[in-house]
Chain A
């Protein structure tokens, strides 16, 4: 036997047993894969059977027909029933949803949904949240509040959705507050939830905005813009005068009235190019004839995007005619400004031609 094998028995032993562990783990994984596949096959069979049995009943309910007999919900059908029912609920509105709720009450699936909230399995909890939300089950309120405060983004925002379904007047206050505070909640989802209570949101935003910290303002602005909330001028005005560029450009995006024009004009000389871009955009919404010189200044800005937005604002002004080169010359003789005007004019005419061509 070589010197190595004599001296390295501990190494060999350690390596050998590592190999043995690897083989055992491989076998375990292989068995696990087969078990998972068998379970999946079984689940799919039950799912097909459940859908085959309940889809006609639910379809009839959606169509407004009273089902003659509502079958009994078997224990092994509960999960697949709830999934099918939730999927259909998400696809319908109004009376169809109420009819589906009636089916759910008839087969006592509300208790199933509530029981899922108590389980540790996260997938079942999510199903339960959706279930009690569509059923507007008030008895689940306290559990939903607990979920909403959790750090689990998905569970928390879905719980908020469910609470807004159950009692929107109560839930909207938390919805606005957490919608602004929680960066881990996807903005589209928050907008979808808050969008169901536009008037309440308008009032709450007006109350909340002056009090929230500066780091939260950009998100609040994004929400307000997405929800098309028209904030009072007296709230926007001080925000337009803040130091932080992110706050100013966020506020500029919400400007819709000429009352704020002086504050908007003051932003045209801001050091941050993003603020100047939003200034040009805001002016495109509220500008009057007297703002043309200011837009021309922005048209000659060093930043391409500022020039682009300024050109769009100028071209969009109904009292400005730019059909002829002399008319463009009258606006600006700056080379980059002229090029940008020509670009925007070409974009507008190309779009017209394209529409005609198609």
Chain B
């Protein structure tokens, strides 16, 4: 008869036996049973959570798609659109900064300004900007509600009145964004990566939630993979799929992460991350929160989690909304090393964001953010790789050692991989339902293939990289951004 762990402990307590006795009476079956229960329940909870988010996204996307007839109408500016400051941090972007800024200047929006923050570049970034945009010194004394590294000069473009450049000492992306926020003239600001490719109506779309609801303090847009697409004049002209398998896996991943991950959380005001590639914030709450934290690698997520914490603490009505339309495109890594470094960095950023805002979790006024989103992120995103990989390893060892039957091992793999495929296919379905931006049948076929393949190695590899990120965060090893190998042909003078 199998004994439970508790029965065993009760019998052992009065008897301080030797290690040998301990080993002989080790409740192996109870431990295996408990571990297997835990792994199965974890996987089921994880996937039920994702499926719930999926359902919420489905309802929200369906509702949005019904309003497409209104979006197809010619957009007329009423003059009441909130003006936006677009902040572009730039560090050693000499080869592509001119083309990026030129395309941003062509964005279709009623009123916006662009502030490029040259973050102590060591290449010719500033010289390129001065030459291409006829920069002249601009007398500017401005309030500095957020501390930053020293600003050396303000420059104004004589050819484009809505373009300004801040030249400052190197301080990192967060510090650059803060300098841009300090100099921003408008009530909304938008942080954009220099290599992000926006659509002409991106600002118009991402600002819409602010007009519909005065409590909205931030919106994030969907980021899509630009690899394989045609870019002309800095704008996306034709959607395509990458041929590189790493990039293809990421297309599927981004669909899952954005279309039902963030969309689902947005429905219940539980969005904990607005992508640093493209997100819009109300300046006031961000300044009150202290701006971006310069000593963190995941400054985009950390700010959003902090905003939740502070707004909840103050009992102020607010919403952070996700805009599902594809409005920002970015080049995804196409080689193993760059992708690995990126995922390690992201996981570190996640850990830093959560741990620096612990008080949000289960706080009395935490709401959805504190009682659902934060614990979900902690358990399934931060610790997920540890539990997931441990589960795979444990089950493999248990099977090899004969502790579990081949049926048990097979069922475990069946459930884990089957649910993973289901989630990826549902991301693909949401894309087809709401946007169908990949027009050809062969695109769909390739995506379907990679949805399957993703679960046979890529996801597990990703989990390993994230585990490395978690380990490095725990060890407090020095984190760096590293450099990404750029391949995009549009990143040059146009």
Q: A and B: partners?
A: yes
A interface list, Cβ under 8 A from B: 1-5, 7-8, 11-12, 15-16, 18-19, 22-23, 25-26, 29-30, 32-34, 36-37, 40, 83, 86-87, 90-91, 121-123, 126-127, 130, 153-154, 158, 183-184, 186-189, 191-192, 226, 304-305, 339-340, 342-343, 346-347, 350, 353-354, 357-358
Are A22 and B418 within 8 A (Cβ)?
yes
| Other 13 A-B pairs with CB < 8 A, given A3-B29, A16-B415, A188-B81 | A2-B405, A4-B405, A8-B36, A15-B40, A26-B421, A90-B74, A91-B74, A122-B66, A123-B68, A126-B70, A350-B138, A354-B136, A354-B156
Residue B72 contacts which of A18, A87, A191 (CB distance < 8 angstroms)? A87
Among A15, A34, A187, A192, chain B packs the most CB atoms within 10 A around the CB of: A15
Q: A residues within 8 A CB of B448? A: 30, 33
Complex formed: what's the CA distance from A342 to B36 in Å? 72
Chain B interface residue number, banded: 35 or more
> A16 with B411: in contact, given A37-B444, A357-B158 (CB under 8 Å)?
yes
Complex formed: what's the CA distance from A271 to B2 in Å? 75
Are A22 and B421 within 8 A (Cβ)?
yes
Complex formed: what's the CA distance from A83 to B429 in Å? 25
B432 at the interface (CB under 8 A from A): yes
Are A357 and B36 within 8 A (Cβ)?
no
Q: A residues within 8 A CB of B408? A: 2, 4-5, 8, 12
B interface list, Cβ under 8 A from A: 2, 29, 32-33, 36-37, 40, 44, 47, 63, 65-70, 72-74, 76, 78-81, 134, 136, 138-141, 143, 156, 158-159, 161, 208, 211-214, 402-405, 407-408, 411-412, 414-415, 418-419, 421-422, 425-426, 428-429, 432-433, 436, 441, 444, 448
In the assembled complex, how far is the CB of residue B1 from the closest CB belonging to chain A, in whole angstroms?
10
Are A7 and B140 within 8 A (Cβ)?
no
Complex formed: what's the CA distance from A18 to B418 in Å? 9
Complex formed: what's the CA distance from A86 to B414 in Å? 51
Q: B residues within 8 A CB of A16? A: 411, 414-415
Complex formed: what's the CA distance from A12 to B404 in Å? 11
Residue A19 contacts which of B136, B138, B414 (CB distance < 8 angstroms)? B414
Are B211 and A19 within 8 A (Cβ)?
no
Complex formed: what's the CA distance from A122 to B161 in Å? 44
Are B156 and A22 within 8 A (Cβ)?
no
> A7 with B33: in contact, given A22-B419, A226-B80, A304-B143 (CB under 8 Å)?
yes
> A343 with B141: in contact, given A5-B408, A358-B159 (CB under 8 Å)?
yes
Residue A123 contacts which of B29, B69, B141 (CB distance < 8 angstroms)? B69
Complex formed: what's the CA distance from A34 to B74 in Å? 31
Are B415 and A354 within 8 A (Cβ)?
no
In the assembled complex, how far is the CB of residue A144 from the closest CB belonging to chain B, in whole angstroms?
16
Task: Identify the closest chain B residue to A305 (Cβ).
Answer: B143
Complex formed: what's the CA distance from A158 to B70 in Å? 9
> A126 with B407: in contact, given A26-B422, A37-B444, A192-B76 (CB under 8 Å)?
no
Residue A29 contacts which of B33, B419, B425 (CB distance < 8 angstroms)? B425
Complex formed: what's the CA distance from A113 to B33 in Å? 63
Task: Identify the closest chain B residue to A36 (Cβ).
Answer: B432
Q: A residues within 8 A CB of B418? A: 18-19, 22-23, 26
In the assembled complex, how far is the CB of residue B108 from the closest CB belonging to chain A, in whole angstroms?
16
Total A-B Cβ pairs within 8 A: 163
Q: A residues within 8 A CB of B428? A: 29, 33
> A354 with B161: in contact, given A5-B407, A12-B408, A188-B211 (CB under 8 Å)?
yes
Q: A residues within 8 A CB of B158? A: 354, 357-358
Complex formed: what's the CA distance from A346 to B414 in Å? 70
Are B80 and A187 within 8 A (Cβ)?
yes
Among B29, B67, B212, chain A packs the most CB atoms within 10 A around the CB of: B212
Chosen A-B contacts, 25 in total, with CB atoms closer than 8 Å, are A3-B2, A3-B29, A4-B404, A5-B408, A8-B408, A15-B40, A15-B412, A16-B411, A19-B419, A22-B419, A23-B422, A29-B422, A29-B429, A33-B448, A37-B436, A83-B72, A123-B65, A123-B69, A126-B66, A126-B67, A126-B70, A342-B141, A350-B139, A354-B156, A354-B158
Task: Identify the closest chain A residue to B158 (Cβ).
Answer: A357
In the assembled complex, how far is the CB of residue A311 from the closest CB belonging to chain B, in whole angstroms?
11
Task: Identify the closest chain A residue to B28 (Cβ).
Answer: A3
Are B80 and A343 within 8 A (Cβ)?
no
Are B73 and A37 within 8 A (Cβ)?
no
> A18 with B161: in contact, given A1-B405, A26-B422 (CB under 8 Å)?
no
> A12 with B141: in contact, given A32-B429, A86-B69, A226-B80 (CB under 8 Å)?
no
Task: Identify the closest chain A residue to B413 (Cβ).
Answer: A19
Task: Identify the closest chain A residue to B157 (Cβ).
Answer: A354
In the assembled complex, how far is the CB of residue A22 from the closest CB belonging to chain B, in whole angstroms?
4
Are A130 and B69 within 8 A (Cβ)?
yes
Complex formed: what's the CA distance from A1 to B156 in Å? 78
Q: B residues within 8 A CB of A7? A: 2, 29, 33
Q: A residues within 8 A CB of B73? A: 86-87, 90
Q: B residues within 8 A CB of A186? A: 208, 211-212
Residue B33 contacts which of A8, A15, A91, A339 (CB distance < 8 angstroms)? A8
> A33 with B444: in contact, given A226-B80, A339-B141 (CB under 8 Å)?
yes
Residue A83 contacts which of B37, B40, B69, B156 (CB distance < 8 angstroms)? B69
Q: A residues within 8 A CB of B47? A: 22
Are A29 and B402 within 8 A (Cβ)?
no
> A346 with B432: in contact, given A4-B32, A83-B72, A90-B73 (CB under 8 Å)?
no
Complex formed: what's the CA distance from A192 to B79 in Å? 10
Q: B residues within 8 A CB of A192? A: 76, 78
In the assembled complex, how far is the CB of residue B17 from the closest CB belonging to chain A, in whole angstroms?
23
Task: Identify the closest chain A residue to B421 (Cβ).
Answer: A26
Q: B residues within 8 A CB of A339? A: 141
Complex formed: what's the CA distance from A126 to B63 in Å? 12
Residue B415 contacts which of A22, A34, A304, A346 (CB distance < 8 angstroms)? A22
Top 4 A-B pairs, shortest CB-CB distance: A5-B405, A346-B139, A22-B418, A123-B66
